[in-house]
Chain A
Amino acid sequence: MTATVTTPRAGSRNTGIRRGEAAAGWVFVLPVILILGLFLLIPVLMALWVSFSDWAGRGSPLSGSVNFVGLENYAAVTTGGGLAERDFGISLRNIAWYVLLVVPLQTALSLFLAVLVNRAVLRGRGFFRTAFYFPSVTSSVAITILWLFLFSQTGVVNAVLAWIGITGPNWFQEPSGIVHNALAGLGVTSGPEALTQTDVLGVSLWEWLAGPSVALSAFILMAVFTTSGTFMLLFIAALQNVGGELGEAGMMDGANGWQRFWHITLPQLRPTIFTVVTLGVIGGWQVFDQIYTGTEGGPAKTTVTPAYLSYEAAFTRQEWGEGSAIAFLLFLIIIFFTIIQRWVLRERGVSKRRAARYEVKGGRS
């Protein structure tokens, strides 16, 4: 970084009205660069080193007594055959179900809410938008506490279920998977051997297919509750950009409301839907606060997420290499989705040739 700080001299050829700009520019961005560098760039590099080392949490990870162990930590969580691999497998199983259910639900619900409140003649539009958006501004800790109460044995949800004669579970204590529960309802309580005997990441395929546990399902509902408002705003913005002309043309041609929505509005919302889906996936993979506050991974590890597992491995079990390895695997997964999103959205509205021109320009500067 010191090398780049000395470059303002190069800009001093600027005279007159631009005099001193280069120096000022560097001074202005210096705090941001220092803090991002110190608390983002260096930490990532340090953690990368720890993920390849046998550092056990005592002393500095940079001291001479810490050894480079290559991919050992990564191997432990992906092919180790031990508890570490199984835990990582379970966390991936959990988060995969979480994302698989949260993303479509929150996307559909937020689009639905946006369409409902976007009507020009709607009275109390502000009130409804506020009501739907408010859960998004409250902290995940506060919402989790509220959720623990709502979904407790004697809580609101079970009280409502009791009206229709259903005895609700003790949600956050219930480790059984909902797919398994549904199968059990049909009389299927054990899987075929092909599924129970085949392991992926230390977890049998039968367990992979168990579905989210009842406890995780409560978190899934919570995520839908807290994020639908945010994404509703994205959809409202997009709906307002959708011109009315096409819809009117469709109305002239005799298309009914549903047809107009499905064939005219929805295709125009495609970029926003894509944004919401990828943001949902990226956010879904990062679930941590709720687990830390609510269940600490229980019951029976069915709410362990990769982010929580990484924290728990490092800070509770002092397996720093393992925790860092999990964090980097998670990092790769999230970056993968981020790149997909940026790549797809960049293509939008810009021809390939123009996009290529921008890329050359960006690479030079």
Chain B
Amino acid sequence: MSETLPPQAKVAQVDPGRSTPAPRTRRNGLSRRVSGQIFLYALLVILAIIYIFPFLVQVATSFKTDSEAASNALSLIPQTVTFAAYETLFGRSDFPLWFVNSTIVTVVVTLGRVFFVSLAGYALARLHFRGRGAIFALVVAVMAVPAVVLLIPKFLVLNQIGIYDTYAAMILPLLVDAAGVFIMKNFFESIPVSVEEQARIDGAGAFRVFWSVVLPMARPALITIVILSFQGSWNELSHFIVATQSPELTTLTKGVASLASGQLSQGTQYPIKLAAALIMTIPVAVLFFIFQKRIMNTSEGAVKG
């Protein structure tokens, strides 16, 4: 494992700024710190393997035959590479339809959420109107309502207002998100008021100020909302379970979950299931790697909020 220790890390051990104790202790301390570093990197590499290996196995298994997936689960290189799983998914299942449904819902939800949430966040941060405090208190209170408790309630209302089993039922309830309002409000409060006042003196209305002046400045926060709502609606399962029943409205999460219980055919079918789960992970993974730095920072803020 010592080869994982890059030369720079060793150099870093020789800390010239440190006060100089007796030579003997220094040498001992040094070698102890070097072996400590080796141990640290070894530990990190082992942990990283534990975290990454499942995904590598997933990729490999999706190209294996059923029997090899069972007989040789650990290997990362299939003995016979087969695209059968992908051919089944795209050629002989509703998988493409699920993908399209997930895409439609995710895109509409994300666009809608960015707009509504930033509107409300701006109003709560900047516009003075009676009831503002009460509305904000309501939004904060709503953030505490756990989603799983809402499964039955949501079904009841969707049914009652007659949109059960439609795209509207899938999209409308997800269009707004209390945590998003909270994030946007915090962001708008950090922008200096003077920016808007200039525009106001020039006679711009509230929406004009919001749309042309403040919103373009809010790009970092907007990207946060885009990431959170894309990830949230793409990965959403429970809401779609209670909002729809037709096969035509099945999303990836719902469809792939049904694959898990072995709907395509007999046998374990692990290559197909893992291929489906893999494809479903790709858009979120791409988003993750594009906005990696930001995601690493936003989730801190989001959870704290």
What is the interface of chain A, defined by CB distance below 8 A to chain B? 4, 7-8, 10-11, 14, 17-18, 20-26, 28-29, 31-33, 35-36, 38-44, 46-47, 50, 60-62, 113, 116-117, 119, 121-124, 126-146, 148-150, 152, 154-156, 158-160, 225, 229-230, 233-234, 237, 275, 279, 282, 285-286, 288-289, 292-294, 296, 307, 310-311, 314-315, 320, 323-324, 327-328, 330-331, 334-335, 338, 362, 365
Contact A17 B201 (CB under 8 A): yes
Cross-chain contact A8 with B284 (CB below 8 angstroms): no
Residues B160 and A137 in contact, CB atoms below 8 Å apart: no
Q: A148-B260, A149-B270 are in contact. Are A141 and B277 (CB under 8 A)?
A: yes
B120 x A29 contact (CB < 8 A): yes
Residues of B within 8 A of A (CB-CB), count: 104
B295 touches A137 (CB 8 A): yes
**Contact of B134 with A365 in the complex, beta carbons under 8 Å:** yes
Cβ B149 vs Cβ A334 within 8 A: yes
Cβ A11 vs Cβ B129 within 8 A: yes
The reply to whether B178 and A139 form a contact with Cβ atoms under 8 Å apart is no
Given A149-B274, A152-B270, also A32-B147 (CB < 8 A): no
Q: Interface of B with A (CB < 8 Å)?
A: 6, 8-9, 12, 40, 43-44, 47-48, 51-55, 57-58, 61, 69-71, 73-74, 116-117, 119-120, 122-124, 127-135, 137-139, 142, 144-157, 160-161, 172-173, 175-176, 178, 181, 197, 200-201, 205-207, 210, 231, 234-235, 237-238, 241-242, 252-253, 256-257, 259-261, 268, 270, 273-274, 276-278, 280-281, 284-285, 288, 292, 295-296, 299-300, 303-304
Select which of A20, A148, A311, A320 is within 8 A of B205 by beta carbon: A20
> Could you tell me the distance between the alpha carbons of A135 and B259 in the complex, rounded to whole angstroms?
21
Name the residue of chain B whose CB is nearest to the CB of A18: B128
Our count of residue pairs bridging A and B at CB distance below 8 angstroms stands at: 304
Chain A residues within 8 Å of B205, by CB: 20, 24
How far is the CB of B103 from the nearest CB of chain A, in Å?
A: 14
Contact B257 A154 (CB under 8 A): no
Q: Which 9 A-B pairs have the closest CB atoms?
A: A43-B153, A365-B133, A24-B206, A28-B123, A25-B129, A139-B235, A25-B127, A47-B153, A22-B129
- Determine how close the nearest CB of chain B comes to the CB of A62; give it in whole angstroms: 7
Name the residue on A nearest B19 (C-beta): A252
Among B137, B207, B296, max chain A CB count under 10 A is at B296
Known: A156-B57, A293-B260. A121 touches B12 (CB 8 A): yes
The residues of B that contact A44 with a CB separation of less than 8 Å are 145, 149-150, 153
A39 CA / B177 CA spacing, docked (Å) = 11
B175 engages A35 (CB within 8 Å): yes
Q: Which residue of B lies closest to A47 (CB)?
A: B153
Q: What chain B residues lie within 8 Å of A20 (beta carbons)?
A: 205-206
Q: Which residues from chain A contact B172 at a C-beta distance below 8 Å?
A: 35, 38-39
| B58:A146 contact, CB within 8 angstroms | yes
Give the residues in chain B near A132, CB-CB below 8 Å. Answer: 47-48, 51
Separation of A39 and B164 alpha carbons in the complex (Å): 13
A121 partner residues in chain B, CB cutoff 8 A: 9, 12
Could you tell me if A10 and B130 are in contact, using CB atoms closer than 8 angstroms?
A: yes
- Contact of A334 with B146 in the complex, beta carbons under 8 Å: yes
Residues in B with CB closer than 8 Å to A149 are 57-58, 61, 69, 73, 270, 273-274
Contacting B130 at CB < 8 Å: which of A7, A126, A135, A286? A7
> In the bound complex, do residue A314 and residue B74 qualify as a contact, i.e. CB atoms below 8 Å apart?
no
Q: Are A145 and B260 in contact (CB under 8 A)?
A: yes
